[in-house]
Each structure stands twice: as C-alpha cells, then as structure tokens.
Structure 1
Amino acid sequence: MDEKNLTTVKEFILLVFTTDPWLRRVLFYIFLIIYFNSLLGNITLISLICADSQLHTPMNFFIGSLSFLDLWYASGYAPKILMTCFSDDKSISFNGCLAQFFFSAGLSSSKCYLLAAMAYDLYVAISNPLLYSQAMSPRLRVSLVAASYFGGFANSTTITSETFTLSFCGNNVIDDFFCDLPSPPLVKLSCDVKESYQAVLYFILASNVITPAALILASYLFIIASILKIHPTKARLKAFSTCGSHLTAVTLYYGSILFIYSWPSTSYAPERDKVVLVFSTQ
C-alpha cells in the first residue's frame, strides 16, 4: 500500500475564483454587499410581517418562513466565502466541512419542501378564497413548515453520514468555496465511493428535487384550472399576479439546481458551477 493511501485527510483546502489579490478583494466587497442586502431584506420582511397584524395571513406566514430559511441559508455559506476571498488561509477542518455540509444540505432540502407547501397554499387561496383562512389554519401552517424542516434535515442526516464515512485520503483540495450538497469536488476526493453511496445520493436528490417539483407542478395545474373558471379578466390577472413571486423563487432555485446537476459527469465544469452556486446561496 502506497503512502497516499496511508494518509488520512484532517482538513480540506477550498479554492476561490482567482488567486489574484486585487480581484479577490473586489469579489470580497461584491459578496459582502450581496450578503448584507440579503440579511437586510429578509430581516426587514420578517419584522414587518411580525409587527403588522394586518399581515398575519396564511400566505404571509409562509413568506416569512421562507425569508427566515433564506436568512440562515445565506449565513451558512457567505461567511466562509468572504473569508476565503479575504484571507490567505483557505483551509477548513474536517468537522467544519461536515457541519457546513450538514446545514447546507438540511436548509436547501427544507427550502425545496417549503416551496412545495407554498404552492399548495396558493392553490387553496385561489381555488377557495372565501374559506382560505379556515382551510389554512394556524395548526396546518405550522405543521407544513415543521414537516419541511423535518424532511430536509432527515435527508441531510442520511447524506451527511453517508458522505463523511467515506475514506478521504491523499489530495485534500476541494475545487469549490464551501462544502455543499452534494459537492462533486468533495466526493471526488474519496478513495472508496461505492455503488451504495450513489444509490443513496440518487434517492436524496429524487426526494429533495423531483418529489417537491412534482407537487409544485400539480399545484399549479390545479391553480390554472381554478383561474380559468374565473370570468372577469381583471380577476384572472390578479390571481395570476398572486403566483408571481412564488414562481420567480421556484424558477431561480430549481433552475440553478437543474443547471448544475443535469450536466453529465464528463462535462463537469467547476468554474461554471461556482458562478451559479454563489448567486443561488445569497
């Protein structure tokens, strides 16, 4: 057995976009502004919904829940991205990488489920507006959000345990700026990726992406059918506009996921994926 196989990785080295010091400083300030705006926007929205009793509606409850998730989702990535841009130390400990992987997987998975719950909420609001508040009771709303987090972090626990029980030896350079789910540069460092791991990975991706996407699609098919039954044109346009922000969030989030993971492994391009990931995490 050669020396490479005898060396166990204790830390990882993250790669940034460039090694040029000046350009790294520019990227640092750009990412800092994006992160600050994300924090300010989400905190302001949550505060407004909590402070104004007129905004205590089922739909705003889900919007606030999504803002709360986005707040922590961005905070799981941005500090390390900023540090790798600003500091010459690009290392992250094995346990630090594990923690970042776990929370990024849990929050991103929870967001998929929460977007599906919001699609169902929109369907109820448009199909039965008179009984909307009663149908989307506080208990049901809390249950849907709690189920989103439970499903997301249950999947995160599974994929994290499967990933970090792999053997990492020799090369410890991750061609990425954080440990995310599922990071091809991270998994490529393993010495013993087995078919069972690939099966678990496909199951997690299917349950996190395909199932919520199917639920969202089904909800929108019912939403469209309900809107077509509305006769005044203005009422139809108002119903469609209600879905605008949610459709935008779904398109951007699922679009970035599909863009990254729909490419065949032979055409994997780290630089291309870094650009997409850095904007989808802010």
Structure 2
Amino acid sequence: MAVRNETRVTHFILLGLYSDPGLQIIFFLLFLVMYFLAIAGNLLILVTIYADTSLHCPMYFFLSNLSFLDLSFATVTVPKYLVNFLFQRKTIFFSDCMSQMFFVHFIGGAECFHLTLMAYDRYVAICNPLRYNTIMNRQVCLLLVFCTWVGGFVHALAQSFPTIQLPFCGPNEVNHFFCDTHPLSLLACSSASTRISETADMINSGTLALSCFLVVSISYAYIISTVLKIRSSEGRKKAFSTCASHLMVVTLFYGPCVFIYMRPSVTFAADKLISVFYTIMTPWLNPVIYTLRNEKVRKAMKKLGGRKVSVLEGQLKKDFVM
C-alpha cells in the first residue's frame, strides 16, 4: 500500500537505440528509408491482389492480410521513434505508452498466428490438392483470419495486463525505442510485482511460440514427406518454391521474437538492435521476399503498372484533343 501511495509516473522517456549522436543519425535515416519502403511495398501488394482477379484465392488472400499486419506493425513503433529524433521530445504519456505496448503485442501475436495459418494453407494445398478449394473456401478463410486477430487480441491482453498493473513511481526512462513489457517492468517500484509480471510474460509468450512452432513444424513435416514422393523434379521444385518464401518470413519473424521473449529476465545490450528485425526489418523484407520469389505476383504487378500507363496515356490524349 505504501508503494501505491507514492507519486505515479505520468510519462516515460524513450532513450532510443543509442546515445551517440552519429549513430542516432544513421539509425534515423535507416528507419526512415525502411519505413517508407515497408509502406510502399506492402501497399503495392495489397493493391495488386485487390486489382488482379487471378490472385483472388486463399494463398493471396492470406498474403494480403500479412501485408496489412506488416503495415500496422511498423506504424505502431517507427513513427514515434522518428518524431522523437526530429523534435528531440523523447517523452511519451503513460496511456500512450501502454497503448503502444498493447498494439505491439496485439499485431505481433496476430502475425504469429497468421504465419501459422499460412503454413496450414500450404499443407492443404500440397497434401490435399484435390480438396483444397473445398477445405479452404471463402467462409473458412475469413473465419481463420478472424481467429488470428482474436488470438492476437487475447495474447495482447494476457501480455500487457500484468505490466499495466505494475506500480510505477520512478525512474521513468525506458531503455528502448518503443514501450515493451520487459523494459517497462524493470521500472516498477515493487520487485515482487516485477517478477510476477515477467513470469506471466514468459508463460504467455512461451505458450504462443510453442503452439505456433508445433503447428508449423507438423505442417512442413507432412509437406516435405509429400513433396519427396513427387516423381518429377520440376514438380518437386515448384512445390518447394511455394513454401520457401513462407519459411524465410517465419524465420525472420520468429527468430528475434523467441530471443527477446522466451528467456529469463536478463537484459542484453543487443536486445534493442534485435527488436529492429521484427518491428521494421521484417515488414520491409516480406514484400521483397514474396515478390522476388513469386512469378505470379510479379506478373500481376507488371500488368497493373501497364494498366496505369495506358489509363494515363488515354487521359493525356483526351486532354490534348480538348
């Protein structure tokens, strides 16, 4: 009771990645470029899939939802970091900090479930190709995507609620470039509350990561077994190529998250740098990975570009005649 009667923190100070001015400029420019590339790349995928009817199938519906998640994930953390650098105002209100923490885990949890869903989609497509359209019909796809968002919401509640309940009475300097559970729990006045919060975080993150990892592993075990039975090398190559992009994205996203959230509450110097991978690097790289390795998406983008050029030429001719 004595702890809770002390003055509560009304705002936090985000210390950012590094205190060195030279490194701050480098990271600011890097974040700015990657953020705009992430926005442009994911928006391009969304527009392409929406505009091209040949991409209106479950695989690309899931890809469009992944692009939306990537857009949201990057937008939750990066703009605040850029604003803090430009205006030298590194403060964030308590309510805004807790909201940012919640949405980081909401969207991050939804993306974990969604990547697992995409693995299941590839399993059905390769192991049950004749029943694929029946199993993965429109209603099922919508329901599965809805479940990933609900799963992310439940994960965010379980991850954020213990931290929100912590007594914060100072200091208020968060050793990170965004609000997250572990750096915030280190600022709590009560060490007992901190241990409870961090234990709850590990259990919640461990359950999420383990369940997703098991589903992805089982799906790919069946996929590999089925692909190896394909007699033609061309068929095996085509089947593996449809999974390679997804495996790369899963590795890029899960790897840093497992390192940050599934270990004892020990702070490493590299934690903030590793967080860059899943907050901005993955949203930027995902469109690159899927467009470079997917010929159908590349053709659809070229077709969309050609259509825009034709419309523009027609408008210019019309204006010229007038």
Range into which the TM-score falls when normalised by the shorter chain: over 0.9
- State whether residues 185 and 197 of structure 2, in contact with CA within 8 Å, keep that contact through their aligned partners in structure 1: no
SS of match in other structure, 1:243:
helix
Q: Deviations over 1:11-65 (max 9, x none)?
A: 1111123334454333222211000000000000010000000011111111111
- State whether residues 5 and 169 of structure 1, in contact with CA within 8 Å, keep that contact through their aligned partners in structure 2: no
My pick for the range that moved more, 154-163 or 96-105, is: 154-163
**Correspondence for 1:191:** 189
CA distance in 1, matches of 2:174, 2:9: 12
Query: Structure 2: where are the runs of 5+ without partners?
Result: 281-322
Pairing 1:37–2:58 present:
no
TM-score norm. by structure 2 comes to 0.81
CA distance in 2, matches of 1:150, 1:3: 35
CA distance in 2, matches of 1:173, 1:215: 39
C-alpha change, 1:90 and 1:195, in structure 2 (3 Å) is: closer
Q: Deviations over 1:188-222 (max 9, x none)?
A: 11123265434432331123211111111111111
* Letter of the structure 1 residue corresponding to residue 275 of structure 2: L
> What's the offset of the Cα at 1:263?
5.1
**Correspondence for 1:276:** 274
SS of match in other structure, 1:13:
strand
**Correspondence for 1:76:** 76
My pick for the range that moved more, 188-197 or 57-66, is: 188-197
Identical-residue share of aligned pairs (%): 40
- State whether residues 202 and 262 of structure 2, in contact with CA within 8 Å, keep that contact through their aligned partners in structure 1: no
C-alpha change, 1:191 and 1:121, in structure 2 (3 Å) is: same
Which stretches of structure 1, 4 residues or more, deviate above 4 A after TM superposition? 1-5
**Correspondence for 2:118:** 118
CA distance in 1, matches of 2:5, 2:72: 37
Query: Structure 1: where are the runs of 5+ without partners?
Result: none
CA distance in 2, matches of 1:126, 1:171: 54
* Letter of the structure 1 residue corresponding to residue 189 of structure 2: C
SS of match in other structure, 2:169:
coil
* Letter of the structure 2 residue corresponding to residue 228 of structure 1: L
**Correspondence for 1:218:** 218
Over the aligned positions, Cα root-mean-square deviation in angstroms equals: 2.0
**Correspondence for 1:154:** 154
CA distance in 2, matches of 1:140, 1:260: 33
- State whether residues 24 and 86 of structure 1, in contact with CA within 8 Å, keep that contact through their aligned partners in structure 2: no
CA distance in 1, matches of 2:187, 2:66: 34
Pairing 1:61–2:61 present:
yes
CA distance in 2, matches of 1:171, 1:254: 32
CA distance in 1, matches of 2:231, 2:3: 74
Q: What number of residue pairs does the alignment pair up?
A: 278
* Letter of the structure 2 residue corresponding to residue 131 of structure 1: R
CA distance in 2, matches of 1:264, 1:199: 9
- State whether residues 15 and 175 of structure 1, in contact with CA within 8 Å, keep that contact through their aligned partners in structure 2: yes
**Correspondence for 1:48:** 48
- State whether residues 66 and 111 of structure 1, in contact with CA within 8 Å, keep that contact through their aligned partners in structure 2: yes
> What's the offset of the Cα at 1:161?
2.0
CA distance in 2, matches of 1:228, 1:246: 19
> What's the offset of the Cα at 1:110?
0.5
C-alpha change, 1:72 and 1:255, in structure 2 (3 Å) is: same
Pairing 1:255–2:255 present:
yes
**Correspondence for 2:312:** none
Q: Deviations over 1:253-277 (max 9, x none)?
A: 11111232455444x21x4111111
